[in-house]
């Protein structure tokens, strides 16, 4: 049993079963999520015998680092982890300016099949457990702590569709936000979804405080269905209606993301259609020129097109940021994560 798969009450129950007083659970929790220890042996506030018992009874995490790559500008680190059953996932740490952001995965692979995404291209393997999700964050949190540094932001934008693994993803976020533990602020967490409407509705009803981003990629159904097949089930009008409802209920701004592909979704027609679609909605649009992947031939938009796209949106009163492509030299950019980092690194 992976200790990171246990909730606090499960940990308490497990300790009682081991004949330990209840307060030990609190101490262990603190060691795991506040002190960020790297092993049972490092839990020096516990008697040695108990540390040994814990090590016999539980696994201290299940991630095995296979590869860790740094981008040439040193701003991005990508780790390939092997899980207990041999599945592989990737996690990215980005350090730009004063930000320290971990982008973590919620599934091994992804079932959504977006054509331009490396994770989609590999297909779905399985959902990650709560522990496997939380551990990815703690892995980098520990490394930073050793340098007297800390994470400032979390993005649920790694491999997989978080709303296709809703329960474990939310439990993992709750764990990371637990004020007796890691105590990470909801406002500094952003979850990105491809647009699974029932889950957006649930997220809204549960009054979740983390920021929500929706990967839109196109403003018309024909094109969106081509790029993002799940659009067939959850078409744009319905999706935007559920986004509007989220904004109304939560009073919060929503983000839309578009990977801009030359002559596909970066045209003036698409920009105008998007402007009309989002006009008046409390939202922000992030555009990123497409990152290369092995199985998709589309090319990134050029700078001129991207600038024009942004200007068009702004004419509708829709704010837009052009995101930098980062970590591309180690295939750590948006949509480039897959199960093996050993594939050839693509030329820019």
Interface residue list for ligand SAH (CB under 6 A): 116-117, 157, 161, 192-194, 215, 257, 259, 288, 290-291, 293, 334-335
Q: Is 117 in the site for ligand SF4 (CB under 6 A)?
A: yes
Secondary structure (3-state) at 190: strand
DSSP state letter for 231: G
334 makes contact, choosing from ligand SAH, ligand SF4, none, with CB < 5 to 8 Å by partner type, with ligand SAH
Cβ distance 258 to 216 under 8 Å?
Answer: yes
Q: Are 71 and 331 in contact (CB under 8 A)?
A: no
Interface region with ligand SF4, contact rule CB under 6 A, candidates 83-91, 113-121, 127-135, 281-289: 113-121
Residue 156 near residue 106, CB atoms below 8 Å: yes
Cα 23 from chain centroid (whole Å): 33
Does 333 participate in binding ligand SF4 (rule CB under 6 A)?
no
334 as an active site residue: the answer is: yes
Terminal CA-CA length for the chain: 43
Instruction: Give the Cα separation of 217 and 32 in Å (integer).
Output: 39
Please give the backbone phi and psi of residue 140, each rounded to the nearest 5 degrees, phi first.
-80, -30
Q: Given 12, 90, 125, 132, which residue is catalytic?
A: 90
Residues contacting 222, CB < 8 A, separation 6+: none
- Choose between 210 and 288: whose C-beta lies nearer to ligand SAH: 288
Between 117 and 223, whose beta carbon lies closer to ligand SF4? 117
Q: Which of 52, 206, 334, 342 is catalytic?
A: 334
Candidates 68-76, 116-124, 301-309, 310-318; binding stretch for ligand SF4 (CB under 6 A): 116-124
Q: From the list ligand SF4, ligand SAH, none, which binds 330 (C-beta under 5 to 8 Å, kind-based)?
A: none
Residue with smallest beta-carbon separation from ligand SF4: 120
Ranked by CB distance to ligand SAH, the top (closest) residue is: 335
Sign for the pseudo-dihedral over CA of 200, 204, 205, 208:
positive
Q: Is 181 exposed, middle or buried (0-12, 13-18, 19+ CB in 10 A)?
A: middle
Exactly one of 32, 151, 194, 218 binds ligand SF4 (CB under 6 A); that residue is 194
- In the bound state with ligand SAH, the residue whose beta carbon lies nearer, of 94 and 334, is 334
Choose the binding region for ligand SF4 from 107-115, 172-180, 234-242, 280-288 (rule: CB under 6 A).
107-115
Nearer to ligand SF4, 25 or 328 (CB): 328
| Burial class of 108 by CB neighbour count within 10 A (0 to 12, 13 to 18, 19+) | buried
Q: Which of 210, 122, 203, 195 minimizes the C-alpha distance to 159?
A: 122
- Quote the CA–CA distance of 8 and 29 in Å, as a whole number: 7
286 binds ligand SF4 (CB under 6 A): no
Residue closer to ligand SF4 by CB (options 189, 228) is: 228
Placement of tokens 């003036």 in the chain: 268
Which of ligand SAH, ligand SF4, none lies near 172, with the C-beta cut-off 5 to 8 A by kind?
none
Strand (E) positions, 24-158? 64-70, 76-82, 88-96, 99-103, 107-109, 124-127, 153-156
- Integer Cα distance of 204 and 213 in angstroms: 13
- Which one, 37 or 283, has the nearer CB to ligand SAH? 283
* Least distance from ligand SAH to the Cβ atom of residue 244, Å: 19
> 112, 243, 260, 285: which one contacts ligand SF4 (CB under 6 A)?
112
- Which partner from the list ligand SF4, ligand SAH, none does 290 bind, CB cut-off 5 to 8 Å by kind? ligand SAH
What residues line the site for ligand SF4 (CB under 6 A)? 110, 112-114, 117, 119-120, 160-161, 194, 215, 335
Catalytic residues: 90, 334
């Amino acid at each position: 049993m992976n200790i990171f798969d246990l909730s606090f009450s499960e940990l308490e129950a497990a300790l009682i079963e081991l004949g330990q007083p209840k307060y030990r659970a609190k101490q262990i929790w603190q060691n795991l999520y506040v002190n960020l220890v790297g092993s049972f042996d490092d839990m020096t506030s516990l008697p040695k015998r108990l540390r040994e018992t814990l090590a016999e009874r539980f696994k201290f995490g299940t991630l095995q680092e296979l590869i860790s790559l740094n981008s040439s500008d040193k701003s991005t680190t990508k780790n390939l982890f092997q899980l207990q059953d041999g599945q592989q996932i990737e996690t990215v740490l980005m350090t730009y300016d004063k930000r320290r952001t971990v982008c973590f995965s919620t599934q091994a692979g992804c079932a959504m099949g977006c054509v331009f995404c490396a994770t989609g291209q590999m297909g779905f393997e399985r959902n990650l457990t709560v522990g496997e999700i939380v551990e990815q964050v703690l892995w980098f949190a520990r490394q930073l702590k050793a340098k007297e540094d800390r994470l400032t932001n979390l993005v649920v934008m790694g491999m997989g569709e978080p709303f296709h693994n809703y329960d474990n993803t939310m439990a993992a976020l709750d764990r990371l936000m637990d004020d007796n533990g890691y105590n990470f602020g909801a406002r500094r967490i952003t979850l990105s979804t491809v647009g699974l409407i029932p889950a957006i509705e649930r997220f809204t009803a549960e009054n979740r405080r983390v920021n929500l981003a929706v990967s839109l990629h196109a403003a018309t159904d024909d094109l969106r269905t081509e790029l993002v097949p799940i659009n067939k089930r959850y078409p744009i009008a319905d999706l935007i209606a559920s986004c509007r409802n989220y904004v109304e209920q939560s009073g919060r701004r929503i983000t839309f993301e578009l990977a801009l592909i030359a002559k596909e979704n970066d045209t003036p027609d698409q920009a105008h259609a998007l402007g009309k679609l989002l006009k008046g909605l409390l939202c922000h649009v992030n555009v990123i020129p497409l990152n290369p992947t092995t199985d998709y031939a589309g090319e990134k938009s050029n700078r001129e097109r991207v600038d024009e796209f942004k200007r068009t949106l702004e004419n509708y009163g829709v704010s837009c940021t052009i995101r930098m492509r980062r970590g591309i030299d180690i295939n750590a950019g948006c949509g480039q994560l897959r199960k093996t980092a050993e594939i050839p690194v693509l030329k820019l």
